[in-house]
A and B are shown apart, each in its own frame.
Chain A
């Protein structure tokens, strides 16, 4: 198919999918993760059987004694023996068979390893471009995230298939500083480009995605009448109608409820819904609480009531009346949050954790219900919950919304969307720096995984147990990945890949602050003078101020 062979098949490897070949590899092209192929006749047709390099072992090791002086390289000792340097390099490479690529079936393993002595070739860029990804950059549904790591930059562009992760969900997992927010930014840029025009919401607890607004002024995000819209919803603009909370949300929001309070709260919740329907106000709920099961009319709000009810009302007031988020009548309309060609950034910074979780839970529940109602024809054009297009929600710090070993208010709705969302066009992207703290069921249901550098052994173990599509060989690479390098696996690519993330078109909003530079700036001339001016006494103050003697006198 292409150039000269890179190596020669030695024999089978440790597993039925592995084979070994031997190569001098003078240019060091047989890197970990590199793709190689051999030719085989499959059903009378010559096919390139692709494989990925998983191990590289030197076969000719210089004797240890040649290395007794660090200043003398072993090659120099070999020169003494008139041994040609070029002949010393010889490696045994283990490759895992992926198979030949079939348009309909994907990679098909021929189940027969190459014959011993068969030539092995480095897979050409063009071949990899055709078979590794289902999507071609720039085409509809393509999310161009970068290029294949084992090749020069941009030699083999890698594009995720958006139909994969917008139906069976996405997970972006990495340690702090590995570039997960950057990658998320790249994915969002691609989703908002004219060839995709997605409806996207970002749950942004650290307010680091507002730089995406630059998309609106960037010609890459415009085509004809289309122009990407970025809507940033600040914490003070978030509104949640209390009647959109369910009983679980209320129980979660109100602190330290006793068993009796739980009971009374549940009774009151059911009564207020029976009495006022889907829309009720805080006042109505309070009244319903005070009325009790007997429905005793409340004539004096300051009347002495049962201690449990009183405590419940106090808790309800403390959370609902003093929150800037909860109100009686207004929800952010779903059509404001989700619209094709619009990227909505929901900033949750400055909001307490519990309220963040309730905001996300109610929002996700409303989204899922709206999509269900719309798909089933229960919601009409002017209904509040009419949403006639799929939506993708990217959740930063996902471990706060679906923590391991704890069932919080968001866990249930996330699990429901992860398992049923595909049918109704609701998909989720989870971003987390602590997969060890993320619910394993939630993680395992994200069928497209972008995994960046992970050093923590607990996090590595969680990834290994939850992410089945990534082979062991690639998981071993996790601590060795550099910033901006990602392992992509699952439903959006044809095989697990190591990718170098491309440059973003918009500025990155999560850069680390440069503390030493800021400390140094404190002492620069202009700022020092400004501080001195600020501390200086008003003119004439010294002359007119009383002296020590005056005071004593």
Chain B
């Protein structure tokens, strides 16, 4: 299921995706489809997909702050000025952490190609998440430095959420994941609080 389209990028790996609203896609995505920490794929030109993680959400609402009287009630706007309503949008930031080619071969880390504007993004299926992380039969997270290097207060939560997801997908590797998870939790929860 597609969740939206790429509308902007602040870097080679940090994109902004506008979530499809009603009327923009056959099936309107549910909030859980583009939730924080969700693995997504961005369509690339060569049939491959850029794999990313939703790491932030922002809302676009031109009406915010416009507190003056209205000539038309809100219900009438849908009839007389529907384009005005569509200026409200949900934007999600996607951090690209690798690439899945057309044969589901994964390459983790910064991809050489970039997404183009309007490229569609979709939620990654569990099988694809598994394929993206499996190298020689075992879990691999070579993109982890990209997440830890994220200059954001949300970065530790993103890491913890990713670890939790991967622990369920790769139970055989849960001990290894737990080592990283415990370290992130200590640094994110205990040290700053003290």
Q: How far is the CA of A66 from the CA of B178 in the complex (A)?
A: 24
Query: Does B182 sit within 8 A of A, measured CB to CB?
Result: yes
Say which residue of A65, A82, A88 sits within 8 Å of B194 (CB atoms).
A65
B184 shortest CB reach to chain A, Å: 10
B161 to chain A, nearest CB (A): 13
The answer to whether B185 and A63 touch across the interface, beta carbons within 8 angstroms, is no
A82 to B193, CA, bound (A): 12
Is B64 located at the chain interface by the 8 A CB criterion? no
CA distance A82 to B186 in the complex (A): 10
Bound-state Cα–Cα, A83 to B194, Å: 13
Is B194 a contact partner of A81 (Cβ separation < 8 A)? Answer: no
Mask for B24-68, Cβ within 8 A of A = 1, else 0? 000000000000000000000000000000000000000000000
Collect the chain A residues with CB atoms within 8 Å of residue B190's CB: 60, 62-63, 66, 78, 81, 83, 88
User: Does B191 touch A at the CB level, under 8 Å?
Assistant: yes
Given contacts A66-B190, A83-B185, 9 further A-B contacts (CB under 8 A): A63-B193, A64-B194, A65-B194, A78-B190, A82-B189, A83-B189, A87-B182, A87-B185, A87-B186
Mark A residues whose CB is within 8 Å of B. 60, 62-66, 77-78, 81-84, 87-88
Which size class do B's interface residues fall under?
under 10
User: Does A60 contact B186, Cβ atoms closer than 8 Å?
Assistant: yes
**CB-based contact A88/B186 at 8 Å:** yes
A63 and chain B: residue at smallest CB distance: B194
Chain B residues with CB under 8 Å of chain A are 178, 182, 185-186, 189-191, 193-194
Q: CB distance A81 to B193 under 8 Å?
A: yes
* Chain A hits for B194, CB < 8 A: 62-66
Complex Cα spacing A82 to B184, Å? 13
Q: List 27 A-B contacts (CB under 8 A).
A: A60-B186, A60-B190, A62-B190, A63-B191, A63-B193, A63-B194, A64-B194, A65-B194, A66-B190, A66-B193, A66-B194, A77-B193, A78-B189, A78-B190, A81-B189, A81-B190, A81-B193, A82-B189, A83-B185, A83-B186, A83-B189, A84-B185, A87-B178, A87-B185, A87-B186, A88-B186, A88-B190
Within the complex, what minimum Cβ distance (angstroms) separates B120 from chain A?
37
| B residues less than 8 Å from A84 (CB atoms) | 182, 185
User: Distance in Å from the Cβ of A5 to the closest Cβ of chain B?
Assistant: 13
Closest to A80 in B: B193
Q: How far is the CB of B113 from chain A (nearest CB, A)?
A: 36
- Chain A nearest CB, measured from B50 CB (Å): 33
Task: Report B40 CB to chain A, min CB distance, Å.
Answer: 27
- Interchain CA distance A441-B178 in the complex, whole Å: 57
- Enumerate the 3 nearest inter-chain pairs by beta-carbon distance, A residue then B residue, closest first: A63-B194, A87-B182, A81-B189
Q: Which residues of A contact B185 (CB under 8 A)?
A: 83-84, 87
| B160–chain A nearest beta-carbon distance, Å | 10
B72 to chain A, nearest CB (A): 49
